[in-house]
Amino acid sequence: MALHGKPVRQELLEQLRGQELRIPDLRLMFKHWPMDINTQLESIRASVPNRISSLTEFAQKQRLLTNIDSGLFSSTWWPGATLADGDILSCLALWLFIWDDEVDAEVGDLSSDFQAAQTFRRETIEYVRHCLGLDEVGCVTREPPENKRYLEHRELLFRELEFFMKTSEVEQKRRLSPDLPSVEEYVETRMGTSAVNVTSFFNEVSLPIKVLTDPYMKVVWDKTNIIIWATNDLLSLKKEVGQQTVDSIVPLLFREFCSLDLAVSMVVETIEKAVEDFDHAAYILTERYSGDESLIGNLKTYINACRLNCTGNLNWSLQTGRYGVSKHTFAGGVMMRLE
């Protein structure tokens, strides 16, 4: 709790409101990285409206899901995907947003009911385990899939999905408590709730498990993760303060250092450092496996796909206007007033 009995979140909101900040043009950090969009964007988008209508009859939820533009998300994150794969990846994006919103957003049925959300998480984990053919003994599910190949790959994907859901538990518990997390606690949880390692798993080539579990591949995944969630936290700040939400990196840094400019610059530096660390890890990986001609081409493609996830996320954010910032106003940086 804050001093004088005022809730800590309310006190932090009052300190932030009315302040102005400048976010630099983040695209400059990625000028040496690829950025693209799937040429079949409109075809991928075409199936989304009916899919959303089949998922919910509530107009507010339909509007929120439509604004995600999962077809664009798929097309910027995975621009080289076929139409069939792009449609599947659009479904993946939609599912991740829907699932997270159920326990976290203002329209989520379970956002304020922690015990019901726990049941939802447990049932989802069991269902995902089944869908990946990893059923435990006694788990009552539909018939398991026939494909038993790539067991280690499916186990790795399951661990990432399970981590995403379990960190959402920590996030929701904190959000429902009167206290704010520390910066360190927030970052630890954010590495899971962003679901970036889940989406990175679906990049366009298959790599041997020895490469996917290489320590430097973990660096590539973690830095991809940091770049994406830190970018999202920066761009969404105005929107979140408007929704009376302060459980994100910039407000928490502001609370610790009492300077909004410093908080923003620290996040920008975090992104810059993550780009450098990513490039270094990518260099080590390509050198390590350069002698394996059957592998090196796919490895380079995978690493570039992770880069495309980062630039695609920024491109998607600016094209949808999801955070009130567009690519037309972002050139040279953008000023924001928190209200």
pLDDT, tens digit, for every residue of 234-282? 999 999 999 888 999 999 999 999 999 999 999 999 999 999 999 999 9
Decide if pLDDT at 101 tops 70. yes
Nearest to 33 by CA among 278, 322, 299: 278
Tokens read off for 81: 């995907």
**Residues of the chain with pLDDT > 90: what percent?**
60
End-to-end distance of the chain based on CA atoms, in angstroms? Answer: 23
Tokens read off for 283: 């260099």
Lowest mean pLDDT among 141-145, 209-213, 260-264, 335-339: 141-145
Spatial neighbors of 50 by CB under 8 A, at least 6 apart, are none
Nearest to 27 by CA among 300, 324, 320, 318: 318
pLDDT band for position 111 (cuts 50, 70, 90): confident
Q: Could you tell me if residue 335 is inside a domain?
A: no
The per-residue pLDDT for 138 is 45
For residue 95, how far is the Cα from the chain centroid?
12
Spell out the SS3 assignment of 280-325: HHHHHHHHHCCCCHHHHHHHHHHHHHHHHHHHHHHHHHHHHCCCCC
Q: Could you tell me if residue 264 is inside a domain?
A: yes
98 vs 324, higher pLDDT: 98
Q: Could you tell me if residue 109 is inside a domain?
A: yes
Decide if pLDDT at 148 tops 60. no
Q: What predicted TM-score, i.e. pTM, was given to this entire model? A: 0.88
The per-residue pLDDT for 77 is 94
pLDDT band for position 2 (cuts 50, 70, 90): very low
Q: What is the residue range of 289's domain?
A: 7-27+39-328
The per-residue pLDDT for 197 is 63
The answer to whether the beta carbons of residues 147 and 213 sit under 8 Å apart is no
Decide if pLDDT at 331 tops 90. no
Work out the average pLDDT over 137-143.
Answer: 47
Q: Could you tell me if residue 338 is inside a domain?
A: no
Q: Could you tell me if residue 19 is inside a domain?
A: yes
Lowest mean pLDDT among 9-23, 123-137, 173-187: 123-137
Question: How many domains in the chain?
Answer: 1
147 vs 221, higher pLDDT: 221
DSSP state of 224: H
Decide if pLDDT at 199 tops 90. no
Q: What is the DSSP string of 172-219?
A: HHHHHSSSPPPHHHHHHHHHHHT-HHHHHTTSSS---HHHHTSHHHHH
Decide if pLDDT at 25 tops 70. yes
Q: Could you tell me if residue 64 is inside a domain?
A: yes
pLDDT band for position 135 (cuts 50, 70, 90): confident
Q: Could you tell me if residue 156 is inside a domain?
A: yes
Virtual torsion, Cα 97, 102, 105, 108, nearest 10 deg: 140
Spell out the SS3 assignment of 68-116: HCHHHHHHHHCCCCCHHHHHHHHHHHHHHHHHHHHHHCCCCCCCCCHHH
Residues 295-328: tens digit of each pLDDT: 999 999 999 999 999 999 999 999 887 777 766 6
Decide if pLDDT at 1 tops 50. no
Mean pLDDT of the chain: 88
Decide if pLDDT at 5 tops 80. no
Work out the average pLDDT over 200-226.
Answer: 87
**Residues of the chain with pLDDT > 70: what percent?**
89
For residue 136, the one-letter residue type is: E
Residue 256 belongs to a domain with what CATH number?
1.10.600.10
Q: Could you tell me if residue 32 is inside a domain?
A: no
For residue 260, how far is the Cα from the chain centroid?
24
